[in-house]
Amino acid sequence: MKCILKATGLKKYYGEGETQVRALDGIDLEIEQGRFTAIIGTSGSGKSTLLNMLGGLDTPTEGSIRIGNTELAGLNSEQATVFRRKQIGFIFQNYNLIPVLTVWENIVFPISLDGREPDQKFIMQIVEMLGLESKLDSLPNNLSGGQQQRVAIARALASKPSIILADEPTGNLDSKTSDDVIGLLKMTGSEFCQTIVMITHNPEIAQMADRVVRIEDGKIAV
Ligand SMILES: Nc1ncnc2c1ncn2[C@@H]1O[C@H](COP(=O)(O)OP(=O)(O)OP(=O)(O)O)[C@@H](O)[C@H]1O
């Protein structure tokens, strides 16, 4: 299968000298297109740092990241922002919805930022899959945690990114809601042929992935 995301010799060090933290200490990782990869590891092992690097939200101390044919280090910050918005959908544990915007406005917000027209038909398909049709005019604070996370998923999918990066997306949800959300994410992922990379502490969710990568002390455990 085609490799869509490749990290080579990835290192991220914070600080210097005795207090230096080696959050990532030499990661080589290839992610295949269309697959669901779970990233697991103990707290502080480097999972979020890795995901942030893979999505270009932070820059490595050393090493390179290639997404498709694009080398992230070759982009200036403006190009990187545009690239991220088009190619990557992010989902975070805390949903990161904008409280003063309605559900619909939240979903289309990243697309409007790019000055693009939202594909209304496509987005309504996602909205229906996620069971959000009746909530489009609501404000996020009036929704349950599971509903808010579904809005965040819809927002991540709406710009048709090739990669979804999710950092503990179900960390704040009960187990039933969490299973539903992961099920929906897997379904939309396979429907739209998206590559999913997800950090999880939950072994049951990791079991649903095509591949599990364990991080230990900033390295991939073998
Ligand atoms: N901005 C920062 N400055 C200094 N150290 C940092 C910074 N961000 C992360 N670290 C350190 O890097 C290491 C890896 O952190 P990271 O958040 O990637 O771990 P994690 O595996 O995602 O943890 P968790 O499961 O608790 O979210 C930790 O020791 C953390 O304290």
All structural domains of the chain, each given as residue ranges with its CATH number in brackets, are: 3-220 (3.40.50.300)
**Reported ipTM:** 0.97
Is the Cβ–Cβ distance between 20 and 14 less than 8 Å?
Answer: yes
Does residue 208 line the site of ligand 1, with CB under 6 A? no
Task: Indicate which atom in ligand 1 lies nearest the CA of residue 215.
Answer: 21
DSSP 12: E
Q: Express each pLDDT in 108-125 by its tens digit.
A: 999 998 888 999 999 998
Q: Is 14 in the pocket of ligand 1 (CB under 6 A)?
A: yes
Q: Is 148 in the pocket of ligand 1 (CB under 6 A)?
A: no
Mutate which of 16, 40, 42, 49 for ligand 1 pocket (most atoms within 8 A of beta carbon): 49
Separation between Cα atoms, residue 152 and residue 203, nearest integer Å: 23
CB 23 within 8 A of CB 14: yes
With a 6 Å cutoff on the Cβ, whether 48 touches ligand 1 is yes
**Average pLDDT per block of 10 residues along the chain, 222 residues long:** 94 95 97 95 96 94 96 93 91 93 96 90 90 96 93 91 92 82 84 91 91 97 84
